Structure 1
Amino acid sequence: MKTYLTVASFAVAAAFAFPACAQAQQKVVPAQSEIAFTSKQMGVPVDGKFRKFDAQVAFDPKKPEAAKIGFTIDLASVTLGTAETEAEVAKPDWFNTKSFPQATFQSTTVKATGPGKFDVAGKLAIKGASHDVVVPVVLTQAGGNTTATGSFVIKRLDFKIGDGDWKDTSMVANDVTVKFKLALTGVGAF
C-alpha cells in the first residue's frame, strides 16, 4: 500500500509535464488521457493512476520558449487496485490529502529537443515540498488529434512521501516512474 502512495505522488509529477505539449487555448481530453506511475515494493512493481487532474496550457510548438503550462492533480483520486491501499495513501505518512489535497506543476522553460520532442522544466509541488523537474515529452499528431507522451523518475522521499517507518527504501523504493499519455485539442502543427 505504501508503495502505491509513493507512485501516486510521482504520477502527479508526470501529469504536470503533459500539458507542455499544447498551444494557446489547448485542452486536455480527460477521457482519452492517463497519468500513471510505477513504484516498487520489496522489488515488486506496483502500478497506480490518478483519475482527476486539470491543466492550463498555452503552447505553440513553433515557439516553445513562450509556453505556459500548469497542472493540478487531485491526490485523493489515486487508484491502486484496492480500497485499503487507497485509504492508506491518504494518511499523513503518505499523501496527507487532508492537509495537501493537490499536487501542482508550473513550467519555467520549454525547449525543443528534436522533431515533436520537448523538455519541459518546472516546479513540482507535492505534500508541501517543491522541487525542479525536467519532463521529456513527445508529441504525435494524427488528423486533428495531438497526443503527448512521456515518462520520468522522481524520488518519493524528496516529497516526504513515505515518512516515518516508510523512509526505509529497502521496503519501498525511492524511485517512482511517472508515465503519461495526454490527448490534446487545439495544438498547432509542428
Structure 2
Amino acid sequence: MKRLAFAFAFACALAAALSAHAVEYTQVQADKSSIQFTYKQMGVAVDGRFKRFSSQIAFDPAKPAAARAAFDVELASVDTGAAEGDEEVAGKAWFNTRAFPTARFVSGSVKALGGNRYEVAGQLSIKGRTQDVVVPATFTAQGNSGVFDGSFTIRRADFAIGEGSWAKFDVVANDVQIRFRISAAGK
C-alpha cells in the first residue's frame, strides 16, 4: 500500500512540475512582429508591408488543437516603399480603405504536423469578401517568448484587389505572397 501511495504522490508531483513549465503564448509583441507581402509588377518582384495590425492569440504547444488566433490589419498602413504607391493602393480600385479599413484573419483550427510545424485553417476577409485559407507556420520557443513564422499565397482577384483597368494580370500579377513573423510572450 505504501508503494502505491508513493507512486501516486510521485506521479502527482511530476505532473505538477511538468505543468509548471507549460507556457501559453498570448501577448503579441508588436515591435518584434511583421506582416509583409510580395507581388510581381511587370514581372519584377515588389515587396511591401503593413505597419499596423492588432492580434489576439492563444497557443500552448502542448495543446495545439485548442489554439486560437485573430488578426486585424489596417490596410491604410500599407507601405509599398513609395508614398504615391501607398496612396494608390489605399484607393478605391485596390483596397478601398474608406469602405474597408481592415483585413481580418480568424483561425478555425490548428493541426500539428510535427517538428514544430503547424497548419492553421481559417477565414481571411478583405474588402467584404471572405475566403477559406490554410496557412503553414512554424513555431520556435525562445525562453518565455515564442515566434511564429509562415507564408501563404492569395489571389487578389478573389478579394477584388485591383478593380477596373487593374483587374487584368498583365501589369500586376494575381498571386500575392503574404509572409508573417509574430512574436508572442508567454504566461
TM above 0.5, yes or no, is yes
Residues 39-96 of structure 1: CA distance to partner in whole angstroms, max 9, x if unpaired? Answer: 0001011110001111111222111111221110100011111111111011111000
One-letter code of the match for 1:32?
A: K
2:64 is matched with: 64
Q: Name the aligned partner's letter for residue 80 of structure 1.
A: T
8 A contact 2:25–2:146 mirrored in 1 = no
- Residue in structure 1 matched with residue 155 of structure 2 by the alignment: 155
Residues 32-51 of structure 1 mapped to structure 2, 5 A cutoff = 32-51=32-51
SS at match of 1:113: strand
2:135 is matched with: 135
Unaligned runs of 5+ in 2: 1-22
The one-letter amino acid of 2:82's match is T
Partners of 2:142 and 2:110 in 1: how far apart?
23
User: Which residue in the other structure is 2:78 paired with?
Assistant: 78
Aligned equivalents of 1:33 and 1:57: distance in 2? 13
Partner in structure 1 of residue 3 of structure 2: none
**TM-score for both structures, normalised by structure 1:** 0.83
> Which amino acid is 1:89 matched to?
V
TM-score calculated relative to the size of structure 2:
0.85
When the two chains are superposed, the root-mean-square deviation of aligned CA atoms in Å is 1.3
Say yes or no: does 1:114 pair with 2:114: yes
Equivalent residue, structure 2, for 1:125: 125
Percent pairwise identity: 48
Work out the CA distance in 2 between the residues paired with 1:121 and 1:79.
27
Following TM superposition, where does structure 1 have runs of at least 4 consecutive aligned residues deviating by more than 2 angstroms?
142-145
Relative to structure 2, which stretch is displaced further, 121-130 or 175-184? 175-184
* Inter-partner Cα distance in structure 2 for 1:145 and 1:186: 6
Specify the SS of the correspondent of 2:183.
Answer: strand
Of structures 1 and 2, the larger Rg is shown by: 2
- Going from structure 1 to structure 2, the CA distance change for 1:141 and 1:25 (only over 3 Å counts) comes to closer
Q: Which moved more, 1:54-63 or 1:121-130?
A: 54-63
**What is aligned with 2:177?**
177
2:181 is paired with a residue of what secondary structure? Answer: strand
**Unaligned stretches of 5+ residues in structure 1:** 1-22
Task: Compute the displacement of 1:144 (Å).
Answer: 2.3
